[in-house]
Amino acid sequence: MTMKAFEYASPSTLDLALKALAAPSSEALSGGTDLLCRMKDDVAAPERLVYLKDVKDLAGVKGSAAEGVTIGAGTLLASVVASEAVKASYPALWQTTLEVGTPQIRNMATVGGNLLQRPRCWYFRNGFGLLAMQEGKSLVRLGDNRYHSIFMTDGDALFTSPSSLAVPLIALGATATIVGPNGERTLPVEDLYRAPRTDKQRELTIEPGEILTKVTIPPAKGKNASYEIRAKQSHDWPIVLASVNLTLEGETVSAAKIMLYGVAPIPWRSAAAEQALIGKKLSVETAEDAGKAAVKNAQPLSMNQFKVSLTTTAVKRALLTAGGMKYWEA
Amino acid sequence: MASWPEHPRLIGTRIPRVDGMAKASGRAKYPSDVRPEGMLFGVMLYSPHAHAKITSIDTTAAEKMPGVKAVEVIAKAGATLRYQGDDIAAVAAETEEQARDAIAAIKVVYEVLPHVVTEAASMADGAPKIVNTGNVRKGRAITKGNVNDAFKKADATIEGTYSAPVITHVCLETHGLTAKWDDKDHITAYASTQAVGPTAAELAGTFNIPFTNVTVLTEVMGGGFGSKFGADLWGRTAAQLAQKAGAPVKMFLDRVQEHLAAGNRPSASGTVKMGATKDGRLVAMEAHTHGTGGVRGGAGFPLPYVYDVPAASRTHDDVMVNCGGARAMRAPGHPQGCILMEAAMDDLAEKLGMDPIDFRIKNLAPNDFHTPIYLGELAIGAEAIGWKENRKPRGQGGKGPIKKGFGVALHQWGGGGTQDKQVTCIINPDGSVELKSGTQDIGTGARTILAVIAAEILGLEVGQIKSNIGNSTFPTGQPSGGSTTSPSMAPPCYSAVTAARDALFAKVAPALGVQPADLDVKGGKVLVKGEPKLTWAEACRKLGTMPISELGKFQPGLASGGVGGCQFAEVEVDVETGVVRVKKIVAVQDSGLILDLLTWESQVYGGVIGGLNYGLFEERIMDPTTGVMLNADMEMYKLAGASDIPEIIVKAYDPPEQKARGVIGVGEPPTISTAAAIGNAVSNAIGVRVPVWPMSPRNVLNALAAAATEGKA
C-alpha cells in the first residue's frame, strides 16, 4: 500500500534507456500493469523507473506469414490482437493474447511486460518472498497451493510461471532479443526463464540493466493453437493453458511442440506428450493419449490435484483445436 | 386503516430512478468524492499479524514527517490484536502519500501470538485458545420430536456433508467517512453508510455532544449489504484526527482492509441426515453444523429451512478464528441455511426418484401463509425455465463433455418494517414539493420510491418531487437493513403527503368557494367536483408566502412483512475442465405491493448477481501458517464480470392478494437461493453432488474424482 519514492526517467532512444537503466535499483516500466501493482503492494521498490514507451522503436509488429514476424517488446497486446499476420499465422499466440486480462489491460500492457512479469503466487504478492520459505519450511506446501505447480515440485520454486504469451511463443519457436551494456544477444524465449534455487535468484534470466527489445517468430509451418482453462469468462488468469505447434506429413504428426502454462515455475514443455503424438494421426484418441502422457510424471501438491486433469484436457483440446476437431463444441 | 390507491397511475409501473442519470454519468458525488476545503487524508495502520500483542508503539518519527497533521494511537502497548486488519493507529496528512509514508514510519514491536485462521485448526485438539471462553461456542440446539423413532419410518435416507466458505461484502465504495468540525461541538460527516441516524448517534456519543450537533450526509453511497450501519472505529478516528488537526479528515479503507476488517458472511458446513417416506414426505432431519464469523462469532443460520420437517435435531458450533468479524450480509444466515437444506432436499429427491419440484411441494407446511405463494411461484418459475421440457434426471446432462443441468431452490425472508419512522412533506407556494427523511438510499431506489408515492398522491410527475434523504438531521428515517426500508418509509411518506395535500385543499377551498372535500388532484391540476379548475402551480400560489409542512407517521394497512420466493438455474458444466457456466437464472419473487417495478427488478437482478458470485466464485482464502488472507484483492478474490452474467429472468409474483398486503421489502430475499439453485443444477448436470461451494473448477473436478473413486460416476 505504500509506494516508495523513486526517480523517473523517460528516454526516447534505446541508448538513453540503457544509460538510464545502468543506475543501481533501476527497473524498466512499460504498461505498468504488473510493476506498479508490485510497487503499491511493497513487493518491489525500485529507486528508479525507466519508462520505455517513449522509445518508439520498441513497438510494432513487422513481417509476414512467409518470412516470419517480429514483435517489438513495447507492442501493446491490443496491437498483437489487431495484427492480421499474427491472427492468420499464429492462432496459438493470437488467441492467448486475446484472453489476457481485459481490454483496458490489453491497451496498456506490452508483449515485453507480459513476458517479464513476476509470478502471481499469492505468497510472493503478500511479501513472503519468491520461494515463500519461512524457518526452512515452504509456506506453499503448508498452505493454500491450489494455483501452484504440479511439475518440478521437488524443488523450492512452487509458483507458476506467469506469462501466458511465453507459452505459445515457445511453442512457435520464437527467439527473444536483449540489448544491454555489452551489446545485443538473441536467445530462445524459453531461455528467459529458470527455476530459482534461492530467494536471491530471480526466475528471469535477463540481467539488471538489460532491455528485452523484440521477439522473432519463425514462419509458421503446420498448425498451431492454444487452449485456456479459466474459472471466469471475464478478467481472470488461466488456471492451465496449453499451446501446441504441429508439423504434419499428410495426416501424420511428424513434429510437435507442446507447451503448458500454470503447471511449473517455468513455461513447461511436455516432451512426453510430444513423444506420445509424433508419428500418429491426430484424433480425439491420440490427443487424449498425449494429454494423459503430459501428466504422467506430475507431482501435484496438497490442493492442486485438479490441475492434473486440467492439464490433460488443455493439451487434448489445444491439439484438437489445431486439428479443427473441437469435439466439446459439438 | 389507510390503503394505497386502488387504480394507481404510477405505483407499480417502471419508473427510472430519480438519481439514475447522475449516478450513470458520474455527476453524483459519493461520500468518498467529497473534499471539503482544507481536507486532510487519513490512513489506518492495521495489524499485519493474525494474533499479536503490542509490546511498544512509537509514533515520534511519524509525527515529524512532512505534511503530517495528526496521529492517533488506537491500540496502545499491551493491547491484543486479534486478526490481520485489526486497527492500531491512524495518521492524517496533507496528501494520501504523506499519510501512508507516516503510517510506515510508526514503529510497532509485536509479540506474535499463536493463531488459528481456519475452522479445522481452531477445532483441532491442542489448538491455541484464542478466546477466553474457548474456540468453540455451542449454538442453540434444536430438538423437535423424536428423531430416532422418526427415522425408522423413512423409506429413503441420505446423509450429506455440505459447505460454503466465508465471503466478504466487497463494497465498491469502501467503508469510511470524511469528518469536518463546524465549530468546537458540531460535526458534519460525509459517510458511506446505510444508517445516517445511528452513524450520527455513534459520533455524538464518542464526543459527548448532542445528537443534533452531528450532521451525517449520505447523498448516495456505493454499497453496504449490511456492513455499514455505523461510523465504525475508523470513522470515529477520522473525527478525532480532524479535531486534533483542526481540519476535515477523509478516512476510507483501502481495499485490503475492506476485505480484512469490514465484515463478512460467515461460513457454514455440516452433515445433514434426512429421511422421507417413499411417497415423498419428510420424516426427520439430523444435522450437525458449524461455521465461523471470525473473532466474534455470529455464524448461526436457519436449519431446517423453508420445509416442514416433523422431527428434527440439530447442533451448531460457532467456531472462533483469528479473522475479521462477521457483519450482517444481505439476508444474514439465510443463504447458508438455504444451501445446506436445498442440497439435502435435492439429494433426497434423487434417492426417492422424485422430481425435485414435486418433492418440495409435498413438504411445504400446509397451514403456512408461504405455501400458496410458493405454489404460485414454482409454477411460474418452472414454466419460465422450461423445467418440464428441458430438465432431465440427474446425470443425464448430455453425451459430450459439456453437461446441461437445471436446479431449483426456495427461500424466505421477513422484510417487514418498523412503525416509528417519519417523513416530512413540504409544498412550497411556487408549487415545488419536497420530501425529507433521515433514511438513505443504499442503492435500492429509496429516494425514488418516496417520490413515486408523493407524485401518485399529488397527481404530479415523479420529476416534480424533490426527495431529500441521506441527512441525519431530517425526521427519523429507517436504517437500510433487513429489507425494512420501504415498508418502514412508505407509510409515513403516504401520511405526510396525504396530510400536506389535505392542508393545501383546506387553504385553496375557501378561495374557490368550495369545501375541501370537493377538491381532488389529477394530472397536475386541482379539480373541483371532478372538473379541472386550477393548475397545481396556481393552487399552490394561493398559499401566500409560507409553505405547507406536514410530518407523516406510520399508519396501519400500508405495509406488511414475510415473503417467499424461488429461483431456478440452468447451467452448463464442462466435466473435463470443471468450468460451470450459468446460462439462465429465473427469479420469482413476491413482496407485497411493488412501488416501482424498475427499481424492484433492479434489486432482484442485484440479488441474483450477488448469489451467482457466492455460487460460482467467491471465497476468502486464509493462509494457515502466516494467518493472513491470501486474496485480499479483486483479482484472486473472484467476482463475476459482465461476461459471467447469464440471462436473468425476473418475475414478480403479485396477484391482487399480494398487492393488498401493502409494501414489503425486497433487498434480501432475491439473493438467498441463487447459490443453492446453481449447486443443484450442477449436480443435476454431472450426476454427482458437488458438496463444497463455490462451484469452481477445483471443487467440481474434486467431486467428480471422488465419485469416480467410489465408483459412482
Are B227 and B336 contained in the same domain? no
ipTM: 0.97
Query: Contacts of residue B579 in chain A, CB cutoff 8 Å?
Result: 229-231
Q: Is the residue at B701 inside a domain?
A: yes
B188: its cell numbers: 458534519
> How many A×B Cβ pairs under 8 Å?
100
pLDDT in tens, A207-251: 999 999 999 999 998 999 999 999 999 999 999 999 999 999 988
Are B274 and B410 contained in the same domain? yes
Last residue of a domain, one of B530, B552, B574: B552
CA distance A1 to B54: 22
Give yes or no for B402 touching A (CB within 8 A): yes
Quick check: B640 and A232 CB within 8 A?
yes
CA distance B353 to B408: 16
Phi, psi of A136 (to 5 degrees): 75, 0
CA distance B82 to B322: 6
Quick check: B638 and A234 CB within 8 A?
no
Of B468, B542, B451, B459, whose CA–CA distance to B504 is shortest? B542
Q: How far is the alpha carbon of B400 from chain A, nearest alpha carbon, in Å?
A: 6
* Domain range enclosing B682: 264-415+561-709
Q: What count of Cα atoms within 13 Å lies in the side-chain half-sphere of residue B262?
A: 32
Say if residue B304 is preceded by a cis peptide, omega within 30 of 0.
yes
Quick check: B626 and A230 CB within 8 A?
no
CA distance A49 to A21: 8
Residue A229 has its nearest CB partner, among B100, B579, B623, at B579
Quick check: B641 and A310 CB within 8 A?
no
Query: Contacts of residue A313 in chain B, CB cutoff 8 Å?
Result: 576-577
Quick check: B701 and A309 CB within 8 A?
yes
Q: How far is the alpha carbon of B409 from chain A, nearest alpha carbon, in Å?
A: 24
For residue B317, what is the enclosing H or E element? strand B311-319
Q: Is the residue at B150 inside a domain?
A: no
What is the biggest distance separating any 2 CA atoms in chain B, rounded to whole angstroms? 90
Residue A229 has its nearest CB partner, among B100, B101, B577, at B577
Residue A139 has its nearest CB partner, among B579, B626, B698, at B626
Instruction: Name the residue in chain B with its Cα closest to that of A141.
Output: B625
**Sign (positive/negative) of CA torsion B604, B605, B609, B610?**
negative
Last residue of a domain, one of B252, B283, B312: B252
Are the C-beta atoms of B676 and B410 separated by less than 8 Å?
no
Give yes or no for B572 touching A (CB within 8 A): no
Are B613 and B519 contained in the same domain? no
Q: How far is the alpha carbon of A263 from chain B, nearest alpha carbon, in Å?
A: 15
Are B200 and B212 contained in the same domain? yes
Are B573 and B603 contained in the same domain? yes
Neighbours of A324 (CB within 10 A): 9
| SS3 call for A276 | helix
CA distance B525 to B539: 8
Query: Contacts of residue B640 in chain A, CB cutoff 8 Å?
Result: 232, 234
Q: Is the residue at B194 inside a domain?
A: yes
Alpha-carbon distances, residue B321 vs A83, B114, B266, B687 (angstroms):
52, 11, 11, 35
pLDDT in tens, A151-180: 999 999 999 999 999 999 999 999 999 999
Which residues 249-278 of B are in CB contact (within 8 Å) with A? 254, 256
Name residue, grid cell 461456542: B137
Domain boundaries, chain A: 1-58, 223-329
Quick check: A143 and B623 CB within 8 A?
yes
Are B299 and B229 contained in the same domain? no
Are the C-beta atoms of A2 and A77 separated by less than 8 Å?
no
Mean pLDDT value of segment B535-564: 97
Q: How far is the alpha carbon of B334 from chain A, nearest alpha carbon, in Å?
A: 26
Interface of A with B (CB under 8 A): 1-3, 102, 120, 122-123, 126, 128, 134, 137, 139, 142-144, 146-147, 229-236, 239, 303-306, 309-310, 312-313, 316-317, 327-328, 330
Query: Contacts of residue B101 in chain A, CB cutoff 8 Å?
Result: 2
Confidence of residue B712 (pLDDT cuts 50, 70, 90): low
The identity of residue A50, as a single letter, is V
CA distance B106 to B47: 12
Q: Is the residue at B81 inside a domain?
A: yes
DSSP string, B33-63: G---TTPEEEEEEE-SSSSEEEEEEE-HHHH
Residue A1: what pLDDT?
A: 57
Are B91 and B200 contained in the same domain? yes
| SS3 call for A64 | strand
Quick check: A1 and B254 CB within 8 A?
yes
Residue A199: what pLDDT?
A: 85
CA distance A41 to B203: 32
Residue B296: what pLDDT?
A: 87
Are B366 and B425 contained in the same domain? no
CA distance A213 to A71: 9
Quick check: A231 and B104 CB within 8 A?
no
- Best probe of the B interface among A123, A137, A234, A325, by most B CBs < 10 A, is A234
Phi, psi of B309 (to 5 degrees): -105, 110
Q: 3-class secondary structure for B414-453?
A: CCCCCCCCCEEEEECCCCCEEEECECCCCCCCHHHHHHHH
Of B406, B349, B350, B388, whose CA–CA distance to B682 is shortest? B406
Overall number of domains in chain B: 3
Percent of chain B with pLDDT over 90: 98
Q: Is the residue at B403 inside a domain?
A: yes
Fold assignment, A223-329: Enolase-like; domain 1 (3.30.390)
Residue B101 has its nearest CB partner, among A2, A139, A327, at A2
Low-confidence ranges of chain A (pLDDT < 70): 1-2
Of A145, A40, A167, A34, whose CA–CA distance to A92 is shortest? A167
Q: How far is the alpha carbon of B77 from chain A, nearest alpha carbon, in Å?
A: 24
Are the C-beta atoms of B561 and B414 separated by less than 8 Å?
yes
Q: Is the residue at B135 inside a domain?
A: no
Give yes or no for B96 touching A (CB within 8 A): no
Give yes or no for B705 touching A (CB within 8 A): yes
Strands (DSSP E) along chain A, which ranges?
Answer: 7-9, 26-29, 48-51, 61-64, 68-72, 133-134, 137-138, 175-180, 183-188, 211-217, 223-229, 240-249, 252-261, 268-269
| Rg (chain B; Cα; Å) | 28
B510: its cell numbers: 375557501
Last residue of a domain, one of B252, B277, B307: B252
Are B618 and B583 contained in the same domain? yes
Instruction: Name the residue in chain A with its Cα closest to that of B639.
Output: A232
Residue A1 has its nearest CB partner, among B256, B576, B705, at B256
CA distance A139 to B650: 46
The counts of H helices and E strands in chain B are 20, 29
CA distance A52 to A30: 5
CA distance B151 to B141: 19
Query: Contacts of residue A142 in chain B, CB cutoff 8 Å?
Result: 624-625
CATH architecture assignment, domain A1-58: 2-Layer Sandwich (3.30)
Residue A138: what pLDDT?
A: 98
Query: Contacts of residue B631 in chain A, CB cutoff 8 Å?
Result: 122
CA distance B277 to B257: 50
Name residue, grid cell 488456471: A239
Arithmetic mean of pLDDT over chain B: 97
pTM of the model: 0.98
Confidence of residue B458 (pLDDT cuts 50, 70, 90): very high
Quick check: A328 and B101 CB within 8 A?
no
Phi, psi of A184 (to 5 degrees): -110, 145
Are B606 and B475 contained in the same domain? no
Q: Is B302 exposed, middle or buried (0-12, 13-18, 19+ CB in 10 A)?
A: middle
Q: What count of Cα atoms within 13 Å lies in the side-chain half-sphere of residue A282?
A: 30
Cβ-Cβ contacts under 8 Å for B122 (sequence gap 6 or more):
B116, B130, B135, B136, B292, B319, B320, B321
CA distance A145 to A113: 25
Quick check: B641 and A126 CB within 8 A?
no
Instruction: Name the residue in chain B with its Cα closest to that of A123.
Output: B630
CATH number of the domain encompassing residue B377: 3.30.365.10
Are B445 and B531 contained in the same domain? yes
Q: How far is the alpha carbon of B635 from chain A, nearest alpha carbon, in Å?
A: 7
Pairing of strands B580-589, B647-652: parallel
pLDDT in tens, B45-71: 999 999 999 999 999 999 999 999 999
| SS3 call for A82 | helix
Are B671 and B700 contained in the same domain? yes
Neighbours of A177 (CB within 10 A): 17
Query: Contacts of residue A128 in chain B, CB cutoff 8 Å?
Result: 626
Residue A4: what pLDDT?
A: 83
DSSP class of residue B363 equals T
Q: Is the residue at B205 inside a domain?
A: yes
